[in-house]
Amino acid sequence: MTTRHADYRRSNATKAADQTSVLISVDRLTRLGDAVKGSFSPTMLPEIADYLAADTGQVDYCVTGNIQSDQSGRQQKQLRCIISGWIEVLDAVTLMPSRFELDIESRLVLVSSEDDLPPLEDEADDEDFIVCGQEFDVKAHVQEEILLSLPSTTPRNQTLPDSILPKTLRTARSSGADGTNGQQRESPFAKLQSLKKTS
C-alpha cells in the first residue's frame, strides 16, 4: 500500500453524511459481481472545488467487486475502482486554467472495523484496506482519489488574489457562486491531516 492512502483507511468511517452521496451496496458488488458506472461534473464534487479553475470537465467512474480468500482462507470483500476523465485546475507556474487528466485505479479490501486493519507494512503495494459498512460511498471515494492525485503544487483558487485569477473565477467568487460566499474554506488536505491526528 502506498503512504498516500494511510489516512483514507479510516476516513470513510468518520466522515459526516453527504446528502448527495452515491451509495452502493457492498454485497451487490462483491457477492453478485456487479459493476456500477457513472459520472460526475466537477461542480458536483465540493471537496475539489478549491482547486478548480473552471466548471468544465467530466469525472467518470466504474466500480466492480468480488470476494477472494486471503492466505489464511478468510474471505475478503474487494472493490476495484477506475476513475477517468478530466478537470481544469490552475497551472502552478502561469496561474492559468490547465487541463488535468484523470487516470486513477485503486483496489480496495473492505473490513468492518479499525480492529481488522492490518499493519501498513503487511499490505501489498497494489491494495488499500479501508473500513466500510454495508454501503460504499462512491462520491466520497472519487473525491478522495482526485485530491490525492493532484500535484502538491496545485494552487487553491481561494488563496489567490482576484487580480491574477481568470475572469470566470473572479466572477464566481464575487457572486458567491462557488458556495463560499466570499469566505475561505478549510483545505481538504487539512481535513485529511486532522483525521490523521485524531486516529
What is the DSSP code string of the chain?
--GGGTTHHHHHHHSPPPTT--EEEHHHHHTS--EEEEEE-GGG-GGGGGGEEEEEEEEEEEEEEEEEE-TTS-EEEEEEEEEEEEEEEE-TTT-SEEEEEEEEEEEEEEESSGGGPPPGGGS-TT-EEEE--SEEEHHHHHHHHHHHHS-TTPPPGGGS-GGGS-HHHHHHHHHTTTSSTTPPPPPHHHHHHHHHHH-
Q: Which residue has the higher pLDDT, 182 or 36?
A: 36
Q: What is the pLDDT of residue 179?
A: 47
Prediction pTM value: 0.72
Q: What is the pLDDT of residue 13?
A: 44
Question: What would the pLDDT profile of 155-195 be if each residue is shown by its tens digit?
Answer: 887 766 676 666 666 766 666 554 444 444 555 545 555 55
> Average pLDDT of the chain?
78
pLDDT for 7 beyond 50: no
Q: What is the pLDDT of residue 143?
A: 96
Q: What is the pLDDT of residue 8?
A: 44
pLDDT exceeding 90 applies to what percent of the chain?
37
Closest CA to 38 of 148, 168, 141, 177: 141
Question: What would the pLDDT profile of 122-160 be if each residue is shown by its tens digit?
Answer: 667 778 888 988 999 999 999 999 999 999 999 887 766
Q: What is the pLDDT of residue 59?
A: 97
Cell triple for 23: 451509495
Backbone angles phi, psi at 180, to 5 degrees: -100, -15
Q: Which residue has the higher pLDDT, 125 or 17?
A: 125
pLDDT exceeding 70 applies to what percent of the chain?
68
